[in-house]
Amino acid sequence: MNWEQIYSHAKEWVNDAGAKIRLSFDKTLNIQTKSNANDLVTNMDKEIEQFFISKIREVYPDHKIMGEEGFGDTLGSLDGIVWLIDPIDGTMNFIHQQRNFAISLGVYENGVGKIGLIYDVVHDELYHASRGNGAYLNDKPLVPIKETPVKESIIALNATWVMENHRIDHNLMIPLVRDARGTRSYGSAALEMVFVAAGRVDAYLSMRLSPWDVAAGAVIIEELGGIVTNLRGEHLNFLSQDSLFAAKPGLHQSILKDYLKEGKW
């Protein structure tokens, strides 16, 4: 398999998709809801996913595709080469703010992450990695992730998880929020993962994400020595929804042991 060629195509297509999104800022978006009134999708989410799919099918007809908007394949396994695509991660931000969203593209082989690209379109910042070859922000290498204690760490998480909710006992999150130096919430799982990779936050956790939200970020973070699991500390399967816990080494172990072990995540 020519991974260098796949990597270079992926970068080219992500750049082209970013240009399409930038052009859409001057046009009126068609906005629809999905599972609930706050679960939004636009014509651009769909167009960008279809753009990637047409490119992949043209050059790599034997590769499989898992895309958030459902134009890809229905997959029962991650056998072979699979592209995991979130055409716009942070759609609510895209609609309301025209910023704080990203394109997320992961390429996996038999369930193992090989390539990850996350493109912050508005800042023209492409975070990318291919397994074993380092991780970059545009052309600049990202430095390996260093350890940080909880009391000096910034943790990205949504306020949902610290108020009463139907997924977890929110009381379990309070000590972590209290002990950390600060918390942040950006509204794009892909960006929150690259912020862990770039050392801008020290950990990111979420109770429920889909494979396309985390596939690219996992490759980039792991390439820099960070740890990506669910909130039980188990490897993700990148096939079904799960919780997510991405963090610096050391910090990952201590948060799991001291704060998360009582939870039924």
Contact residues for ligand IPD (CB under 6 A)?
Answer: 68, 86, 89-91, 158, 187-189, 206, 209, 213
Residue of minimal Cβ distance to ligand IPD? 189
Which amino acid is residue 232, in one-letter code? R
Tokens of 92: 């609510």
- Residue 158 contact partner, candidates ligand IPD, Ca ion, none, CB within 5 to 8 A by sort of partner: ligand IPD
| Residue 90, contacted partner among ligand IPD, Ca ion, none, CB below 5-8 A by kind | ligand IPD
Bridge partner list, 120: 125
What letter represents residue 111's amino acid? Answer: G
CB closer to ligand IPD out of 168 and 189: 189
Q: How far is the CB of 209 from ligand IPD (least distance, A)?
A: 5
Q: Which does 226 bind (CB under 5 to 8 A by kind): Ca ion, ligand IPD, none?
A: none
Q: Which is nearer to Ca ion, 88 or 142 (CB)?
A: 88
Residue with tokens 């109770």: 207
Nearer to Ca ion, 213 or 223 (CB): 213
Residue 68 beta carbon to ligand IPD: minimum distance, rounded to whole angstroms: 6
C-beta of 7 vs 265, nearer to ligand IPD:
265
Nearest to 10 by CA among 44, 69, 60, 45: 60
CA angle at residue 95 from 92 to 101, to 5 degrees? Answer: 60
Amino acid at site 41: V
Handedness of CA 240, 242, 248, 253 (dihedral sign): negative
What gap in Å lies between CA 183 and CA 6, rounded to an integer? 37
Q: Which is nearer to Ca ion, 135 or 215 (CB)?
A: 215
Rounded to a whole number of angstroms, the minimum distance from the CB of residue 163 to ligand IPD is 14
Min dist. Cβ of residue 46 to ligand IPD (A): 12
Q: How many whole angstroms from its chain centre is CA 115? A: 13
Q: Taking the complex as a whole, how short is the minimal distance between the CB of residue 250 and ligand IPD, in angstroms?
A: 25
- Write out the residues near Ca ion by the rule CB under 5 A: 68, 86, 88-89, 213
Q: Which does 233 bind (CB under 5 to 8 A by kind): Ca ion, ligand IPD, none?
A: none
Rounded to an integer, what distance in angstroms lies between the CA atom of residue 157 and that of residue 169? 15
| Residue 107 beta carbon to ligand IPD: minimum distance, rounded to whole angstroms | 18
Give the whole-angstrom CA distance, residue 204 versus residue 199: 11
Query: Given its phi and psi angles, is residue 120 left (phi above 0), alpha (psi -120 to 50 degrees) or beta?
Result: beta
Shortest gap between Cβ of 206 and Ca ion (angstroms)?
11
Helix axes 43-59, 3-24, angle to 10 degrees: 150
Q: Which is nearer to ligand IPD, 43 or 158 (CB)?
A: 158
Q: Which CB sits closer to ligand IPD, 6 or 155? A: 155
